[in-house]
Amino acid sequence: MINEVYDLAIIGAGPGGYHAAIRAAQYGAKVALIEKESLGGTCLNVGCIPTKALYASTKLIQQIREHGEEFGVSCELKTNFSNAVERKNRIVRELVDGIAGLQKSWKNDVFNGFGKIIGGDINNGFDLAIEGDNGEKTIRAKRVIIATGSFPKLIPSFNIDHQKILTSSDILHPDFKEIPKSLLIIGAGVIGCEFANIFATFGSKVTVLEYLPLPIATEEPMIIRAIMNKFEKSEIDLHISQNVLSIEKTANGVKATTCPANIPKDEIESIEKKVFEADYCLVSIGREKEIFNLGLEKLGIETVRGAINVNPDTLETYVKGIYAIGDVTGGLMLAHVASYEGNVAIANALSSIGGFPIKPATTDYSVVPATIFTSPNIGSVGIRRAEAKEKNISVAMGRFTYSSLGKAKCMGEEEGFIMILANKENGKIIGASCIGAEAPELIAEIALAMKYGLTAHDIGSVIHSHPTISEMVLEGAEDVFGMAIHRRGRPRFV
Ligand SMILES: Cc1cc2nc3c(=O)[nH]c(=O)nc-3n(C[C@H](O)[C@H](O)[C@H](O)COP(=O)(O)OP(=O)(O)OC[C@H]3O[C@@H](n4cnc5c(N)ncnc54)[C@H](O)[C@@H]3O)c2cc1C
């Protein structure tokens, strides 16, 4: 029996779904938000937020360890991972409760249960079944947004048992409070590198195995070199170009067997293997999209390589009236991209119903900032130098180091640099990469400049407060045309 008719039903309450629910309510829509686990999704519960809460603990430890004496703070430094996890758990709880409060304040109906589309069409509305602890309920909605996200990839030969061989969700479990003596991390992407920094700082002997010839391979080569040097200093043992063939539990822990990544499949058996052992293993090799049992096949919603296929401009699936956003689609797997896509899907869904004060929208992915919370932090946006070369764009680069900046010196944050790329022909900013203190925050200014077509001169003409880390952007932009004040003289480029 259909009890309610909503303007919009959203399946999944991660940063895609819960943002979209609030945005829709802001335009006056009647919204049902369906979540099978915890509000906030991967991001709040087992992703962005818990990792950054733990990162904040490591930052404090590193500050005291590296600068305590010099800054006039003498203490016997003792770390307690269990306390850091408790703090992380509290932050997650508070934010999840905050989201529940926000949904309530916008009068959105939140259903706890597994959501599935069971039928319908754009003319008559869609029926959704919600299976929860208190049985099944059915609702009807004029439009549906699928925002079901993703989960850690499970590879059979990696024998993930969630006890010793772990996913990122396992290692971020509220009860995982013990620091392993040694930790093997499979995958040196963003997530693997962030965990390497956290656990090495708390005292684990960390070994990272990566298939590619470089960690965080999509970043600028100079940034990658800087983080590799830092890993070496931090005694994080990084092994690149390693094909992990299997992971197994042993009497004392775990072992991973590898061979060089360039060995063809039919020669693997005969080649000599390497074995890496540790107490625990974290597998962070990517994520799978949550597309199962949603009723996609019955409705004819297409998937391509495990992702829901959407019109990339409107985010509508190829079934009219049903949209998909965030990790479950084939795009960038970032929380802020999921939220942004929510805005676009809401604009299109509500304007297609009519009567809401909103116009249709199309996606624009030309400026997507990305951040990595290693020590130091990394932030990047726009294109890299290699890509500019491929596209035949003539580039002027500004570069500025933290060690030349007054505020960075005061903070003891002299490590790292910013590089800003501008199109030599028109001076417009086309990308930037930064490694160092507050890099993710600095990149936000560049993203704004790129979005509105500003030039390096435009950034240079803005008064930046002194002394601040934001002056890294000012000096980096001025250096694009050879006029950074705190950089040794070099030929001026206008
Ligand atoms: C360790 C880690 C660190 C990360 N750090 C960052 C970072 O610093 N910055 C960043 O931008 N991104 C980060 N990410 C990625 C980010 O978490 C995801 O890109 C983001 O959460 C995707 O949002 P989403 O709404 O698409 O999906 P999700 O956050 O995965 O949410 C989907 C929700 O849908 C629910 N659901 C699924 N199926 C159903 C169903 N049938 N019925 C009801 N509910 C359902 C799930 O339970 C889940 O709550 C990180 C990820 C991980 C794993």
Question: Angle at the Cα of 473 (from 470 to 475), degrees rounded to 5?
Answer: 110
Confirm if 148 and 294 have CB atoms less than 8 A apart: yes
What is the spatial distance between Cα 191 and Cα 283, in angstroms, rounded to a whole number? Answer: 10
Cα 330 to averaged position of ligand 1 atoms, centre (Å): 14
Instruction: Give pLDDT, residue 187.
Output: 97
With b meaning 16 or more CB within 10 Å and e meaning fewer, what string describes 304-333? eeebbbbeeebbbbebebbbbbbbbbbbeb
Q: Whose CA is nearest to atom 26 of ligand 1?
A: 326
What is the spatial distance between Cα 98 and Cα 198, in angstroms, rounded to a whole number? Answer: 26
Question: Angle at the Cα of 393 (from 391 to 397), degrees rounded to 5?
Answer: 125
Instruction: Give pLDDT, residue 290.
Output: 98
Q: Whose CA is nearest to atom 52 of ligand 1?
A: 47
Where do we find the tokens 């946006």? 381
CATH 3.90.1560.10 assigned to domain 156-285? The reply is no
Instruction: Give pLDDT, residue 493.
Output: 56
Residue spans per domain, the chain? 2-151+289-353, 156-285, 376-480
Cα 311 to averaged position of ligand 1 atoms, centre (Å): 21
Cα 15 to averaged position of ligand 1 atoms, centre (Å): 7
Instruction: Give pLDDT, residue 450.
Output: 98
CA pseudo-torsion sign 396, 479, 225, 205 = negative
Q: Whose CA is nearest to atom 49 of ligand 1?
A: 41
Cα 335 to averaged position of ligand 1 atoms, centre (Å): 7
Instruction: Give pLDDT, residue 91.
Output: 98
0.85 cut: is pTM over it?
yes
The two domains 2-151+289-353 and 156-285 share their CATH topology (first three levels equal): yes
Question: Which atom of ligand 1 lies at the shortest distance from residue 114's CA?
Answer: 42
Where do we find the tokens 């680069």? 397
Beta bridge partners of 324: 146
Q: Whose CA is nearest to atom 1 of ligand 1?
A: 47
Confirm if 56 and 375 have CB atoms less than 8 A apart: no
Question: What one-letter code names the amino acid at 425?
Answer: E
Confirm if 473 and 438 have CB atoms less than 8 A apart: no
What is the spatial distance between Cα 352 and Cα 144, in angstroms, rounded to a whole number? Answer: 12
CATH number of 2-151+289-353: 3.50.50.60
Where do we find the tokens 């490694």? 435
Question: Which atom of ligand 1 lies at the shortest distance from residue 42's CA?
Answer: 29
* Catalytic-role residue among 67, 162, 173, 466: 466
Question: Which atom of ligand 1 lies at the shortest distance from residue 287's CA?
Answer: 53
Cα 378 to averaged position of ligand 1 atoms, centre (Å): 21
Question: Which atom of ligand 1 lies at the shortest distance from residue 113's CA?
Answer: 43
Where do we find the tokens 């992703």? 47
Q: Whose CA is nearest to atom 13 of ligand 1?
A: 48
Query: pLDDT per position in the chain (494 positions), as tens?
Result: 556 699 999 999 999 999 999 999 999 999 999 999 999 999 999 999 999 999 999 999 999 999 999 999 999 999 999 999 999 999 999 999 999 999 999 999 999 999 999 999 999 999 999 999 889 999 999 999 999 999 999 999 999 999 999 999 999 999 999 999 999 999 999 999 999 999 999 999 999 999 999 999 999 999 999 999 999 999 999 999 999 999 999 999 999 999 999 999 999 999 999 999 999 999 999 999 999 999 999 999 999 999 999 999 999 999 999 999 999 999 999 999 999 999 999 999 999 999 999 999 999 999 999 999 999 999 999 999 999 999 999 999 999 999 999 999 999 999 999 999 999 999 999 999 999 999 999 999 999 999 999 999 999 999 999 999 999 999 999 999 999 999 987 665 54
Confirm if 15 and 43 have CB atoms less than 8 A apart: yes
Instruction: Give pLDDT, residue 3.
Output: 60
CA distances from residue 248 to 107, 132, 484 in whole angstroms, order as listed = 49, 36, 54
CATH number of 376-480: 3.30.390.30
Mutate to test the pocket of ligand 1, among 19, 33, 48, 289 (most ligand atoms within 8 A of CB): 48
Query: Angle at which helices 17-26 and 81-105 pack, to 10 degrees?
Result: 30
What is the spatial distance between Cα 39 and Cα 97, in angstroms, rounded to a whole number? Answer: 8
- Residue 417 main-chain phi, psi, to 5 deg: -160, 165
Residues having CB closer than 6 A to ligand 1 are 11-17, 34-37, 41-43, 47-48, 51, 114-115, 147-150, 168, 191, 290, 294, 326-328, 333-336, 338
Q: How far is CA 427 from the centre of its chain?
A: 30
Parallel, antiparallel or unpaired: strands 417-423 and 322-324: unpaired
Instruction: Give pLDDT, residue 134.
Output: 86
Q: Whose CA is nearest to atom 17 of ligand 1?
A: 43
Q: Whose CA is nearest to atom 48 of ligand 1?
A: 41
Count the residues in the chain: 494
Mutate to test the pocket of ligand 1, among 33, 43, 190 (most ligand atoms within 8 A of CB): 43
Catalytic: 466?
Answer: yes
